[in-house]
Amino acid sequence: MPPQALEVALACKGFLDLDEGERLYQLARDHAHLGPIVEIGSYCGKSSVYLGTGARAAGGTLVCVDHHRGNEENQRGELYHDEEVYNPAAQRNDTLPFLRETIRKADLEDVAILLITKSTKAAEIWKIPAGMVFIDGGHTQIAADTDYESWSPKVVSGGILAIHDLFPDPSEGGQAPINIYRRAVASGDFEELPTVKTLGILRRK
Ligand code: MG
């Protein structure tokens, strides 16, 4: 990961470990030739910097899908709420200005396409085989299932399905992401690659 981009990623708000980020960078770089890299849940752009910088190294494209109103854990009164991303006029979160600024600082404006909508809505119009899909959206079971069902079929053969926030021990975190990871394994359509901390990585057969 180039040091200038790494600096932007480290300074960005978000919930992604450095080792996980470095792995996202490598995966995007190594699979962007197969099709666009798609990120479900961008928040302020921390993971977008790793994925976008990887995509750029391969001459590829990153698509950042997010409605920018925050997931269930980002809402006011919840554990991961950040008052700085709350827009009082809208009475809702709005992380889009933060993402846009992150993309600018990381010099990714020619690499990243921002899709400002629900992931299901984006999936309805998405017809291109994706080189990689990174699922890091809502963490309720229904949100995770919907993202899995909408987006895992878009991954091209040889491409990557990555899922963030896997917690094998339920006392350490919610089970929705690891449940969809297990669904993907059980489907028989994917080969498991080594997990990096809470980042699950699967390759479509
Ligand atoms: Mg996450």
Domain containing 119 — which CATH number? Answer: 3.40.50.150
Query: 183: CA distance to ligand 1 center in Å?
Result: 18
> Burial, 48: exposed, middle or buried (Cβ in 10 Å; 0-12, 13-18, 19+)?
buried
Query: 138: CA distance to ligand 1 center in Å?
Result: 9
For range 22-36, the mean pLDDT: 98
pLDDT tier at 160, thresholds 50, 70, 90: very high
3-state secondary structure of 200: strand
Query: 165: CA distance to ligand 1 center in Å?
Result: 5
Q: How many structural domains is the chain composed of?
A: 1
Listed residue (155, 202, 160) closest to 181, CA to CA: 202
Give the pTM.
Answer: 0.97
- List, as ranges, residues with CB under 5 A of the ion ligand 1: 136, 164-165
CA of 95: how far to CAs of 153, 158, 204, in Å? 28, 32, 31
Query: 137: CA distance to ligand 1 center in Å?
Result: 7
Instruction: Flag whether pLDDT at 33 surpasses 90.
Output: yes
Query: 187: CA distance to ligand 1 center in Å?
Result: 23
d(CA 155, CA 30): 14
- pLDDT tens per residue, range 79-136: 889 999 999 999 999 999 999 999 999 999 999 999 999 999 999 999 999 999 999 9
Task: Supply the pLDDT for residue 41.
Answer: 97
Domain of 50, in residue numbers: 3-204
> Catalytic amino acids?
139
Residue position matching structure tokens 């699979």: 31
- pLDDT tens per residue, range 13-27: 999 999 999 999 999
For range 148-164, the mean pLDDT: 98
